[in-house]
Amino acid sequence: MTKRQRLGFTLVELLVVIAIIGLLVGLLLPAVQMARETARRMQCQNNLKQLGIALHNYESSHRKLPPAMTWNGRGEPNGGGLLCIGAFDRVAMGISPASGPDPLRANWVVMLLPYLEQSNLAQSLNNNLSIDDPVNRPLRTVELSTMKCPSDSFNSAPYERARLAGTDGHTYARGNYAYNMGPNQPCFTFNANCESGFNSDTSDVAATASRIWGSGIGGFNVSLRFSDFPEGLSNQAALDEIRAGISPLDPRGTWTLGMVGASITAAHPGRPNNPERGDGLTSCGMMLLTIGEQELKRMGMPCQTSAIPSNFAATARSQHIGLVNLLRLDGSVETVADSVESKVWLNLHARDDALVDRLLRR
């Protein structure tokens, strides 16, 4: 009698094979994800290098660095005599454009566009009008790959600047890099107990002030030269990596908007990715109500409010694990761990070591 040949696998054999494949996939998947994140982080660093080259080319052409942002006019009467130009968001608060145009004009990124092979885009700007004007909408809604870190899962969702006031259509594209304005206290040096604060050309911030600057690489209507950095370009942070906002109300990472948190870091705490001390944002109150304080902290995007809603403080943040990237003013890119010592981090962001010593004594 001929023995019948068995075809195929038994159920037990099939289950064993599936189990082995599942185990192999489980072992390989973290390695694949890590390799992908490494590639994304390298692209993030390459973007910073391109921005560093653009900064140096701008400085070579103009003999100075671009300001953090430009402001048309003097003073901010809507800030209760407490807020400087560029801190009170007239559009977000529903004051502009109904009661007059927003004075906010081009920021540092817009000024760098010709040096980022974006001359046509730069020429589309009408800088006689607010960046929020409908004429400038095509510019501010462009998604620039150079400004986007691939590790950020939120940078494709636009910012609706007037959503807080109940209006849509004031749309802005996102980015992930911000100009270092300095780690100064969020107050002015002419105020009592604020020797480590920001500087202004006049003490009348409501009516006559037109220039604000700190210990970073530029300010509001303020441009610096390489000669203004006595401790050397390699010891000065120029650009910080930041995260894009997690909701349409969140202005963080808005590349054409020259405000702290959007495309500027300032008055930040002593280390990056701080989970406790949040960024000072105009929309923070509403975000606390709609998202919740604990959820914002869980997502690594905490915020803080102020007596007058304003954009006044922001630090470096990223979705890399345990680190952020930054550009030094000499053009080099560095990876900084979240655990960096406060003094090291603050020294990187300040032209003046004495300022850092005062900040640490507070």
Using CA atoms, how far apart are residues 295 and 352, in angstroms rounded to an integer? 36
Q: With cut-offs at 50, 70 and 90, classify the pLDDT of residue 9.
A: low
Residue 247 lies in a domain: yes
Which residues have CB under 8 Å from 70's CB, separation 6+?
Answer: 104, 105, 106, 107, 127, 220, 221, 258
pLDDT for residue 362: 76
- Given a contact cutoff of 8 angstroms between Cβ atoms, the answer to whether 65 and 55 are in contact is yes
Q: Render pLDDT for 75-108 as a digit per residue (tens, 0 to 9).
A: 999 998 889 999 999 999 999 998 899 999 999 9
Q: Which residue has the higher pLDDT, 357 or 161?
A: 161
| DSSP collapsed to 3 states, 227-280 | HHCCCCHHHCEEEEECCCCCCCCCCCCECCCCCECCCEEECCCCCCCCCCCCEE
Residue 7 lies in a domain: no
pLDDT for residue 361: 83
Residue 327 lies in a domain: yes
* pLDDT > 70 fraction of the chain, expressed in percent and rounded: 94
What is the helix, strand, coil percentage profile of the chain, to 5? 35, 15, 50
Residue 184 lies in a domain: yes
Q: What is the mean pLDDT of the chain?
A: 92
pLDDT for residue 45: 97
Residue 3 lies in a domain: no
Residue 74 lies in a domain: yes
Question: For residue 203, is pLDDT > 60?
Answer: yes
**pLDDT, mean of residues 27-40:** 69
Q: With cut-offs at 50, 70 and 90, classify the pLDDT of residue 200.
A: very high
Q: Which of 73, 318, 327 is nearest to 205 (CA)?
A: 73
Number of domains within the chain: 1
Give the range of the structural domain holding residue 301, as residue numbers without chain letter.
15-361
Using CA atoms, how far apart are residues 83 and 78, in angstroms rounded to an integer? 8
Structure tokens belonging to residue 80: 């209760």
pLDDT for residue 30: 61
Q: Which residue has the higher pLDDT, 351 or 18?
A: 351
Residue 345 lies in a domain: yes
Q: With cut-offs at 50, 70 and 90, classify the pLDDT of residue 5.
A: low
Residue 5 lies in a domain: no
Beta bridge partner(s), residue 304: 280
